[in-house]
Amino acid sequence: MTQNASPSDVQRLPYAPSDPDATALRCAHVTVDASADAGGLERPWASLGYDEINWTYTPQGRRTLRTIGGFAETPYHVRPHNIFNSGTGLGLPHWGSGNVYHEDADGKPYYDFIIADLTYDAIVGAGHHPLVELAFTPLALVPDEAKTEFPFENSPSQYSAYEAGWWSYPPKDYGKWAGLVGALVEHALERYGADEVQHWLWELWNEPDISYWRGTPEQFHDLYDVTVKAIRDVYPAAHVGGPAVTGGDQGAVFLHGFLQACSDRDLPVDFVSFHTKGSHFTPWRTYGPIGAPAPERQSPSTPKMLREIDRALAVIERFPQYTGAPVIVDECDASVPAHWGIYDNANFAYRNNEYYPVFQAKLMKKVLDLNEQHTAKVHEATTWSFSMEGERYFEGTRSFVTASGIEKPLMNAYRAFAHLRDRRVAATSDQSTDISDISALGNGLPEEVDVIASRSSADGSVAILIWRHTDDQYAEDPDTTRVELAVNGLDSGDWTVEHFRIDRSHSNSHTVWQDLGAPQDPTPEQLAAITARQGLERFADDAELTVDGVAGLELDLPLPSLSLVVLTKVA
């Protein structure tokens, strides 16, 4: 018989010893009821994106996609910018070019899919599905007014006015744009087949509410109309959507106008997309001495992100015909921009260390909590993180890997997510933050211990993520927080317990690199030492426990840290 127990009266498993040099001054009580099914566990983390489309198919880009595909429990959607940009295919930070569209001397369009094939081959070959962002305007379709009104001064450090901003103007010929879109869809079907392309998402543009779109909202609505028809004429089953606006006030207004226009025209919106960012450090770039401290200590804000998501969901809910469509926050990031790092502003240091993966775990759980408050629900929350070519070791860019393809601690958050099972089960912590009133949360979430738990419908195994975090990357605490974990609703018998950890001393290539003296030309031996510690590491040896309905476990969590506990019934 399954018995219920509070954390104070369960049996103790002598399994996760405290750090002998730390003192647990606080205690959090976490209770999981493995028999209380809370429905299928949505997996909002299963998507990524990036600006630099031409780094998709570099050796490091391919390895990164394959690494994620190797541990991912479900295919990720992958969203790169710039498939329609004109250019040579040279990868640069915050820039790229798919170079698909061209015209002959008579103005007749023709298409070059070489870069598109390299890009989507790498994504699909790693087990993922593209989210095709149909953008931006090719050089041959730039309107004449762009060439007269766009301010640009030639400079040896820039290419041309096209790279500087001509690409952001609406195409001058919507008919030729429709032909381009239809040709890409047709080519994808021929190359990958409908069994694969049925999983692709087709999205018009990126952040049309700001300088990425130098047209009017009405022009954008017209272009969406043209684009949807071009896609559906070739592939009627295609999933189309947008508008990928920013999370600010202007984005919310644009989102409402877009959905209203689609409603008025009876246009399909198979998914609704928008963005949110947790911080815009001031100044973004300091131009100070190398290694200089930040002029002001700043950290990403979880409440800012939740408020922006909450507001966008409320906008969507004004349109019942679109409320049931999946919501994709296809840039959901702790800070912008992705390609700047610690040499621009020292506040970007969190991207290198254990703070970031624990932040991501907290954010994804809070997004799921927010879904409970809305009819419209977030289906994917995309990290704008991938791989940066040519950077220094631990540059601080928003990426899964650093120089030499070394995996940063962020990668291990996604490894931990992949361990979560298919069914969510009830889990509570007496030190979690209530987000039912987002307006009352202030600029940052206070320190908390929170949890998300799951159970496999196949073998009954249970996977639990527990973390300690605060929205202050500079917070220090020499003491740990004791977590008394009670897991109710387990079948009686013998269970194996696994415990994985992300903190300063575990699953953390950055700490190893620092301990080696932060070398920028590591020896083979140093690289071997760093890569040996880059994966998701066990905190303790596996243990076995005889259970009669309930299991107890004690954890000591430093700040910040995340524990993954997996319980599997012994056959």
The pTM of this model reads 0.95
Query: What are the residues whose beta carbons fall under 8 Å from the beta carbon of 254, sequence distance 6 or more?
Result: 208, 209, 217, 243, 245
For residue 421, how far is the Cα from the chain centroid?
A: 19
| DSSP secondary structure code for residue 440 in this structure | G
Q: Kindly state the tokens that stand for 338.
A: 């992705």
397, burial (CB in 10 Å: exposed 0-12, middle 13-18, buried 19+): buried
Q: Kindly state the tokens that stand for 151.
A: 């301010």
A 10 A CB-CB count for 8 gives: 10
Residue pLDDT tens, the chain, 571 long = 233 444 433 344 443 444 445 455 689 999 999 999 999 999 999 999 999 999 999 999 999 999 999 999 999 999 999 999 999 999 999 999 999 999 999 999 999 999 999 999 999 999 999 999 999 999 999 999 999 999 898 888 888 999 999 999 999 999 999 999 999 999 999 999 999 999 999 999 999 999 999 999 999 999 999 999 999 999 999 999 999 999 999 999 999 999 999 999 999 999 999 999 999 998 888 888 988 999 999 999 999 999 999 999 999 999 999 999 999 999 999 999 999 999 999 999 999 999 999 999 999 999 999 999 999 999 999 999 999 999 999 999 999 999 999 999 999 999 999 999 999 999 999 999 999 999 999 999 999 999 999 999 999 999 999 999 999 999 999 999 999 999 999 999 999 999 999 999 999 999 999 999 999 999 999 999 999 999 999 999 999 999 998 999 999 999 999 999 999 999 8
DSSP character string of 9-62? SSPPPTTSPPPTT--EEEEEEEEEEEEEEEEE---TT-EEEES-GGGTTSHHHH
3-state secondary structure 146-173: HHHHCCCCCCCCCCCHHHHCHHHCCCCC
A 10 A CB-CB count for 268 gives: 15
The predicted-structure confidence for 284-314, as pLDDT tens digits, reads as follows 888 889 889 999 999 999 999 999 999 999 9
Strand partners, 242: 272
What are the structural domains of the chain? 24-38+422-569 (2.60.40.1500), 42-419 (3.20.20.80)
**Residues 200/120, Cβ–Cβ less than 8 Å:** no
Q: Which residues have a catalytic role annotated?
A: 207
| Secondary structure (3-state) at 182 | helix
| Secondary structure (3-state) at 208 | coil
